[in-house]
Structure 1
Amino acid sequence: MTRRRQFLVVSLLAASSLLAGCTGSQGGGDSTIDGLRIMVPAKPGGGWHQTAQALQDVLQREKLATGVQVFNLEGPGGVAGLNKLVGERDDDLLMQMGKVMVAGIINNKSEKTLKDTTPIARLTGESLALVVPAETPYRNLEQFLTAWRADPRGTVITGGYVADVDHILAGLIADRVGIDPAQLTYLPNAGGGESVARLLSGEAKAGISGITEYSEHIKAGKLRAIAVSGSQRSKLMPEVKTLTEQGIGLSYLNWRGVVARPGLSEDAKKRLVDAVTKMHSSAAWKQTLKAKDWDDAFLTGPEFDSYIESEDAAARKVLREIGLVK
């Protein structure tokens, strides 16, 4: 098997694993969590922040938690938030995390990893959107790829942090269409809002981020979506074809979940798992998934623990292949 084929097979397996095991334990407690806090280890406005706010809203509406507070702690790959969580003693604290953090821990050579946390639940999956500024001459993916092949280093692509899901997807696409991933020029940002600014200023030719992070700017006519990364089209922009529909055999999903501090008692862990399990079963959460066009990727218990381990192995492989880690 060639290096390129190995690279794509591992990456596709990691993404497609979201489609399996979307079941979780059933909660049994009746207690409401008072004063629950949700830490977002990134700037406000991005996908993690949006997910935390959705959690806050539904948990309170369903009376599963009261006084829920969402707060931000910035840092590349979420590592600063991870370090804070590891030192916490608050049982009623959740940290938003996901696929971005798995790669961020590796890229930032963090001493602390997700093994130092208590996994609670995987919640959502989401396609990424490949966009270009609306004023550019690229009307579709084919036109953009032609320009990118002609000038790989001069075609700046922007997204989130170095080595996060946006960066990895850019490398995957490059590899699939015959561009050496080592020639990828990637402009990182701390959040989706910053990547929009770089696109509109002309610093970047294209951008990759979660669909919900770009959707408002697409609707406003400032950005043009030319592909989505999932296996199906987005309900928020059904006219935009998937990468697969456009001849690139690649399907890639971001996922998000929550973890708690290390050393939780079984009772404390069960309390948190029960709350998010009941939230997941609610009509309000189902409506949130539909409105945000998020996939239901719910997973708890040992299966979620094992999933994080498999994602870590897959991320290390992909990051080596695109030259971001040795």
Structure 2
Amino acid sequence: MRTRRLALSAALPLVLLAAACGGSDTSGTSEDAAAVYPEEDITLIVQAAAGGGSDLASRTLAAELEPALGTSIVVENRPGASGSTAMQYVGDQEADGYTIGFAPVEISMLGHQGFDIDPADYTFLGQIMLAPGVLSVPVDSPYETLADFVEAAQDQPISVANSGAGSIWEAAALGLADETGAQLTPVPFDGGGPALAAVVGGQVDAGVAGTGETASAVEQGQVRALAVFHDERLDRLPDVPTAAEEGYDLEFGGWGGIYGPAGLPDDVRTRLEEAVAEAAQSDTFTETMTTAGNLPVYKDGEKFTAFVDSEYERFGTIFEGQA
């Protein structure tokens, strides 16, 4: 009997160890990994400086992601080179789900402008917002409608301010010129705010900027909005027609979403997609985006990936010969 008790005593630690490790069955390793992810803080990379629209969307979403994922989300700004600095950084990180980023519309544009940025090199986890573009002119401008503007620009060049060379708002002006045959001269500024200030000050004939900036200027009587580049009128600018209403099928917006390096494991990707879906559709995120003049627009990972690919093709046509 003593020999048997000794044998059982020797075996007991092994039994306890096996129980603590979940037994000897190693099937379901992927499920175990999904159950524990994330085990540490996650870093969310923003391609723009603090204080802008991308930063606001990223920090608001990060706060909502924390309870959804059960960990801290550290927002890190890495501006530079039209956003490519941040995009390349995210793409170079280990595909473990601990580094993600805010994907701006430029991620589908920069590859056509000489930058080594290709959407195929990333994992897209979900779209979270959209800032439709608005074409505006000074309040004393002779152009009362988009038709007036286009007609005049077919006879002589018209200067149009934008948020920087290669930006979405330059693309909007180029797209309008291509669609209408108008002679539009893009004038780059360091952001949508400075571009709109140039319109207010009469330094340019017109400008394209985001909804939030433009709507505030319209409400203050500083500019006249001629058209919004969206598929329907905006609540902040209910009296401003869409470009489509004026006969031009044009949509341009500063959309944004969440992405990570290519090759994220399926379980980690699913966990992140579910968290992004919850955070992007939360009351707090929706209200913050709406107050800022943006649209809270959500697409899941699959739909967002297809959307980015289609945008990449579209901008390839717009920027053809521009790089």
Q: Same fold (TM over 0.5)?
A: yes
Per-residue CA deviations over 1:43-100 (Å, capped at 9, x if unaligned) read 344432332133134335x555654443322234321111221233473332112322
Name the SS for the 2:130 alignment partner.
Answer: strand
What is the TM-score when the length of structure 1 is the normalising length? 0.76
Instruction: Tell me the residue number matched to 2:57.
Output: 51
Q: Contact 1:46 / 1:191 at 8 angstroms: preserved in 2?
A: no
Instruction: Tell me the residue number matched to 1:177.
Output: 180
Instruction: Tell me the residue number matched to 2:170.
Output: 167
Name the SS for the 1:156 alignment partner.
Answer: strand
Per-residue CA deviations over 1:122-170 (Å, capped at 9, x if unaligned) read 2223321111233444443344334433321xx2111123333212221
Q: Does 1:116 align with 2:121?
A: yes
Instruction: Tell me the residue number matched to 1:194.
Output: 194
Q: Contact 1:34 / 1:65 at 8 angstroms: preserved in 2?
A: no
* Count of aligned pairs: 289
Instruction: Tell me the residue number matched to 1:39.
Output: 45
Name the SS for the 2:245 alignment partner.
Answer: helix
Q: Does 1:145 align with 2:150?
A: yes
Q: Which amino acid is 2:196 matched to?
A: V
Whole-angstrom CA distance in 1 between matches of 2:219 and 2:298: 29
Tell me which structure has the larger Cα radius of gyration.
2
Q: Please report how far the alpha carbon of residue 232 of structure 1 lies from its aligned counterpart in structure 2 after TM superposition.
A: 0.9
Q: Please report how far the alpha carbon of residue 274 of structure 1 lies from its aligned counterpart in structure 2 after TM superposition.
A: 2.0
Q: Contact 1:59 / 1:279 at 8 angstroms: preserved in 2?
A: yes
Whole-angstrom CA distance in 1 between matches of 2:297 and 2:133: 15
Whole-angstrom CA distance in 2 between matches of 1:104 and 1:199: 26
Q: Please report how far the alpha carbon of residue 291 of structure 1 lies from its aligned counterpart in structure 2 after TM superposition.
A: 3.7
Structure 1 unmatched ranges of 5 or more: 1-27
Q: Please report how far the alpha carbon of residue 111 of structure 1 lies from its aligned counterpart in structure 2 after TM superposition.
A: 2.6
Q: Which amino acid is 1:167 matched to?
A: E
Q: Contact 1:36 / 1:65 at 8 angstroms: preserved in 2?
A: no
Q: Contact 2:121 / 2:262 at 8 angstroms: preserved in 1?
A: yes
Instruction: Tell me the residue number matched to 1:217.
Output: 217
Instruction: Tell me the residue number matched to 1:18.
Output: none
What is the TM-score when the length of structure 2 is the normalising length? 0.76
Instruction: Tell me the residue number matched to 2:92.
Output: 87
Name the SS for the 1:244 alignment partner.
Answer: coil
- Which of 1 and 2 has higher RCO (CA within 8 Å, sep 6+)? 1
Q: Please report how far the alpha carbon of residue 119 of structure 1 lies from its aligned counterpart in structure 2 after TM superposition.
A: 1.6
Distance 1:113 1:235, change over 3 A: same
Per-residue CA deviations over 1:160-206 (Å, capped at 9, x if unaligned) read 23333212221222233332xxx431112342122123323433221
Instruction: Tell me the residue number matched to 1:272.
Output: 272
Name the SS for the 2:224 alignment partner.
Answer: strand
Q: Please report how far the alpha carbon of residue 276 of structure 1 lies from its aligned counterpart in structure 2 after TM superposition.
A: 0.6
Whole-angstrom CA distance in 2 between matches of 1:220 and 1:68: 37
Q: Contact 1:52 / 1:96 at 8 angstroms: preserved in 2?
A: yes
Instruction: Tell me the residue number matched to 1:305.
Output: 305
Q: Please report how far the alpha carbon of residue 259 of structure 1 lies from its aligned counterpart in structure 2 after TM superposition.
A: 0.7
Q: Contact 1:227 / 1:241 at 8 angstroms: preserved in 2?
A: yes
Q: Does 1:131 align with 2:129?
A: no
Whole-angstrom CA distance in 1 between matches of 2:69 and 2:124: 19
Q: Does 1:237 align with 2:237?
A: yes
Q: Please report how far the alpha carbon of residue 211 of structure 1 lies from its aligned counterpart in structure 2 after TM superposition.
A: 0.5
Q: Please report how far the alpha carbon of residue 233 of structure 1 lies from its aligned counterpart in structure 2 after TM superposition.
A: 0.6
Distance 1:239 1:268, change over 3 A: same
Name the SS for the 1:274 alignment partner.
Answer: helix
Whole-angstrom CA distance in 1 between matches of 2:117 and 2:246: 40
Distance 1:68 1:194, change over 3 A: farther
Q: Contact 2:144 / 2:226 at 8 angstroms: preserved in 1?
A: yes
Q: Which amino acid is 1:128 matched to?
A: G
Q: Taking every aligned residue pair, what percent have the same amino acid on both sides?
A: 24
Q: Which amino acid is 1:244 matched to?
A: A
Q: Contact 1:47 / 1:212 at 8 angstroms: preserved in 2?
A: no
Whole-angstrom CA distance in 2 between matches of 1:64 and 1:133: 47
Q: Please report how far the alpha carbon of residue 256 of structure 1 lies from its aligned counterpart in structure 2 after TM superposition.
A: 1.6
Q: Contact 1:32 / 1:63 at 8 angstroms: preserved in 2?
A: no
Q: Which amino acid is 1:272 matched to?
A: L
Q: Please report how far the alpha carbon of residue 235 of structure 1 lies from its aligned counterpart in structure 2 after TM superposition.
A: 0.4
- More off after superposition, 63-72 vs 155-164: 63-72
Q: Please report how far the alpha carbon of residue 288 of structure 1 lies from its aligned counterpart in structure 2 after TM superposition.
A: 4.0
